[in-house]
Structure 1
Amino acid sequence: MNKKTDIDIVIRYLEDPDNEQHKQQLNDWIQQDTANLDIFLDMKAMWQGDPLPAASAFDTQNQWLQLNATLETLPSATISAPAATTASRNTRVFQMKARYWWAAAAVLAIGLTWTWLGPGSYKTITTAQNLDSLHLPDGSMVYINAHSTVRYSRTFGKDNRHIKIDKGEAFFDVVKNDALPFTVDAPDVEVEVLGTAFNVKAAKAGVKVFVQSGKVSAAYKSNGSGKKVILTPGQEASLARHGNTIDTRFYKKNNNILAWKTRCLTFDDAPLNEVAAALSDFYNVQVNISNQQLNDKKLLATFPNMPLEEVLDIMRKTLQINITYKDNLVEIY
């Protein structure tokens, strides 16, 4: 069955879920291949506008087996007329199972939205306000920040080690494999490594790549500039969206690029504007410094996963400054 026909079957059911013929067609199609259940649930979630958070440990195959086991244990004595033929009995038993199928599929959809197994060649992980981690088939680890979307090939580790970050931020701890380079595809930028630990942040303004260990190549993909940079530990590259410039800088050991992962903010005589930027990233708030004379003030402090209100209170007392926090806006004056 071609893909257009497959999509038509799902859409017809979603448009008229009470239509028995559409139910039957969809049920027959799902029975043809276990992957079709993933496609249906993906399209159903998008149709209903459901959120797609991530939980990479969800065992899809096990859930499929449990669902089949449930269907097989349904009661078969569903015919009330003693004279019913064997064919009629089988038909009515199948219809009973079909109704249980839709109920079970609806319940299963709730679990599958944690790990989005959509159509195509990629498996997609999306986080909302939570952090998540992903153990890839080659042994590499991915730590995913909140409000991020990461995809990786269904054949990952076999003939490729290709992963995409559509938005947000992720830290990669990559197992070395000289024969199969590890590549990260971000908007307008491609990152390639053999074995290393690095961070990729894809924002509206552009992509930032920070290297914790090893070496990383970051390059523009399709703007024709051919520009690339080789990054070493402690170095970060900033590549503008739809641009052709690459800015690099070195960070000292105590920086907050990976604070979202370690859940700890550390400031070692950091200027106030640097503190404001770190607070904005970590707590997902807007921070404004209305009195520019305060930029000369420096902060020496460590905040291990503390609530923002407590951090701001310590800053008030330590730096002797005024701070207000309301409606996701922090004003420093």
Structure 2
Amino acid sequence: MNSNVHIPDDLLARYVAGETTPDETRQVKAWLGQSAGYEEELLRFQKIWEAAEIIKPVAEVNVDAAWKKVSSRFTVQPAINDSEVTIQNQLPFTTHKNDDAVRPLRSGKSPSNFRFWRAAASILIVMGLGWLGYRFFEKANEPAIANVLKTQQKTTEQTLPDGTKVFLNQNTTLSFTDDFGQDTRTVVLKGEAYFDVKRDENRPFIIQANGTEVKVLGTSFNVRAYDQKVNVAVTSGKVQFSTPRAKTLLVKNETATAQADTIIKLPVVDLNAMAYRTKVFVFDKTNLGDVVASLREGYQTDIQLSGRLKNCQLTARFERESLDATLSVIAETLHLQVTRKGQTILLDGQGCP
């Protein structure tokens, strides 16, 4: 934070959640009173916290009866990973020479004016050559992106040159140099991917994603970076997550979100956020609106919910089930109707039982 008086992130998190003690509340308010800019900092912090969509506890329903009723209609098969990946090889950066000539101005101006324009043209030429030289040096020192892994509407699993396994979600691009780096193993991510990094004490594995950096030696974690909000969830080992102005260390079962140079640690890892890879969904007294959002992401299917049902609650676990089986159990449990309209699936009903 851009302040002379340090306020810990966890104190601001408790303040935003309304869980501070009276003394802590006074401390935050005193900090806010020092500068108008601090209120903007707190507002940005609050927006990121609210975007985390932490699970809210509510009443349970009986899923077992629903399972028994619909299980005879479905034969459970292991989920098959339909993969679709494009691998592009690109040439290293090249610098093109500018062959345009600089011609002197022809006019009826006096010799003194002519000397002025000739001097100005000379300055421009020197500046132009200097700029071209700078750009040549800059390009020569940029990493040459030679390999691109790209998915569209399906997911895929790939093994990188160092032995690291990466599972790419749909609409994701992963780029890395041809030699994969000498001192570091650096990749650039746009989208979402789960990494199982092969350990190498001498070459850290670095992911650059929308202005953030994730640095590890060898561990397993998920990175979601479709937009300026970047989320990292760790399933094993340690991860260093940083922005230009903040840095934090994450260990197993910890997650954090970064946006606008601010990093906020969240209470737990949302396993449903990685269901695009695992096809495992765990709902514990979860709002049906959040359930549908998780299923939509995990199955890459357009699933819509009637507005009056979004606050209904579900406690259930689905492990590598087909989408039809999962929706049938939910519909039977909460007395819903499942309707397909083209590529869209609609869940509707009278309300919560």
Q: Could you say which TM-score interval applies, normalised by the shorter chain?
A: 0.5 to 0.7
Other-structure match for 1:137:
161
- Deviation track 1:258-304 (CA, whole Å, cap 9, x = no partner) reads 21112333334433233122112113345554445652422313141
Q: CA 1:196–1:203 in 2, change beyond 3 Å: closer, same or farther?
A: same
2:234 aligned residue (204, 211, 216): 211
Aligned residues: 213
Which one-letter code corresponds to 1:249 in the other structure?
L
1:197 aligned residue (220, 243, 249): 220
Say which is worse superposed, 288-297 or 135-144, in terms of deviation.
Answer: 288-297
Counterpart CA distance in 2 for 1:273 and 1:246 is: 26
Counterpart CA distance in 1 for 2:326 and 2:340 is: 11
Which one-letter code corresponds to 1:273 in the other structure?
G
2:247 aligned residue (203, 221, 228): 228
Counterpart CA distance in 2 for 1:305 and 1:118 is: 39
Asked if structure 2 preserves the Cα contact closer than 8 Å seen for 1:303 and 1:311, the reply is no
Structure 1 residue runs of 5 or longer lacking an equivalent are: 1-52, 55-113
Other-structure match for 2:197:
174
Which one-letter code corresponds to 1:162 in the other structure?
T
Q: CA 1:157–1:305 in 2, change beyond 3 Å: closer, same or farther?
A: farther
The TM-score, its normalising length taken from structure 1, stands at 0.57
2:186 aligned residue (162, 175, 198): 162
Other-structure match for 1:316:
331
Q: CA 1:330–1:214 in 2, change beyond 3 Å: closer, same or farther?
A: same
Other-structure match for 2:120:
none
Aligned-residue CA RMSD (Å): 2.4
Structure 2 residue runs of 5 or longer lacking an equivalent are: 1-83, 93-143, 349-353
- Secondary structure at the counterpart of residue 126 of structure 1: strand
- Secondary structure at the counterpart of residue 258 of structure 1: helix
1:147 pairs with 2:161: no
Other-structure match for 2:274:
258
- Secondary structure at the counterpart of residue 257 of structure 1: helix
Q: CA 1:284–1:132 in 2, change beyond 3 Å: closer, same or farther?
A: closer
Q: CA 1:205–1:187 in 2, change beyond 3 Å: closer, same or farther?
A: closer
Listed as ranges, the matches of 1:34-53 within 5 Å are: none
Counterpart CA distance in 1 for 2:258 and 2:203 is: 25
Other-structure match for 2:291:
275
Query: Which protein has greater RCO, CA pairs closer than 8 Å, 6+ apart?
Result: 2
Asked if structure 1 preserves the Cα contact closer than 8 Å seen for 2:210 and 2:228, the reply is no
